[in-house]
């Protein structure tokens, strides 16, 4: 196992051509944040300070990202043009926002009759309290209630 030296950054932080090239190369490979700073040979704190002090460092990162994306896009489009179905699907999904259908639509056309529904409700309540359609007690309920006639208090 070998030990790699860690970068030591003193107070002076400058965007030299070599530093900008390292930032560009790391960004082109897709690195971000602290990993980009380490790959460029800087501490993350020093990289952030450099970006604040010299906007050209941030521009080198943006240019590296754009060039990396351009290279990958060209390779993907070339593969799709050669008939690679996975590459074509990746382009459709990621560039054009295409999504495969994931649901099935089931349409059930059913007509419900209100009178029929009320008749069905009354059939279910045959032993019960009320005639749903006529709004009066059912014959079964009338028979049960007839012996319980309420007497007037005056009688």
Q: Which residue has the higher pLDDT, 39 or 98?
A: 39
Q: Which residue has the higher pLDDT, 129 or 16?
A: 16
Q: Provide the CB-side half-sphere exposure for 66 (13 A, CA).
A: 6
Q: How many CB atoms lie within 10 A of CB 23?
A: 29
Predicted local confidence at residue 142, as pLDDT? 72
Share of the chain above pLDDT 90, in %: 35
Ramachandran angles phi, psi of 154, nearest 5°: -80, -20
Predicted TM-score (pTM) of this structure: 0.54
Query: Which residue has 């009066």 as its token pair?
Result: 136
pLDDT bucket at 70, cuts 50 / 70 / 90: very high
CA distances, 27 to each of 13, 20, 24, 119 (Å): 19, 11, 5, 74
Predicted local confidence at residue 59, as pLDDT? 94
Residues linked to residue 137 through DSSP beta bridges, in sequence order: 130
Residues linked to residue 131 through DSSP beta bridges, in sequence order: 136
Cα(26)–Cα(19) distance, rounded to whole angstroms?
11
Categorise residue 97: left if φ over 0, alpha if ψ from -120 to 50, beta otherwise: left
Cα(13)–Cα(36) distance, rounded to whole angstroms?
16
* pLDDT at residue 77 tops 80: yes
* pLDDT at residue 150 tops 60: no
Average pLDDT value over all residues in the chain: 80
- Mapping DSSP to helix (H, G, I), strand (E, B) and coil, where does residue 125 land? coil
């Amino acid at each position: 196992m070998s030990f790699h030296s860690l970068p030591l950054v003193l107070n002076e932080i400058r965007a030299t051509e070599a530093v900008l090239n390292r930032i560009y190369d790391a960004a082109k490979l897709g690195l971000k944040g602290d990993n980009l700073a380490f790959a460029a040979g800087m501490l993350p704190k020093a990289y952030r300070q450099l970006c604040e002090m010299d906007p050209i460092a941030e521009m080198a990162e943006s240019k590296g990202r754009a060039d990396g994306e351009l290279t990958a896009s060209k390779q993907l489009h070339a593969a799709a043009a050669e008939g690679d179905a996975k590459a074509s699907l990746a382009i459709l999904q990621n560039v054009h926002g295409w999504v495969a259908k994931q649901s099935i639509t089931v349409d059930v056309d059913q007509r419900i009759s209100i009178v029929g529904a009320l008749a069905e409700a009354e059939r279910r309540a045959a032993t019960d309290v009320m005639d749903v359609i006529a709004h009066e007690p059912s014959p079964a309920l009338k028979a049960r209630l007839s012996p319980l006639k309420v007497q007037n208090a005056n009688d």
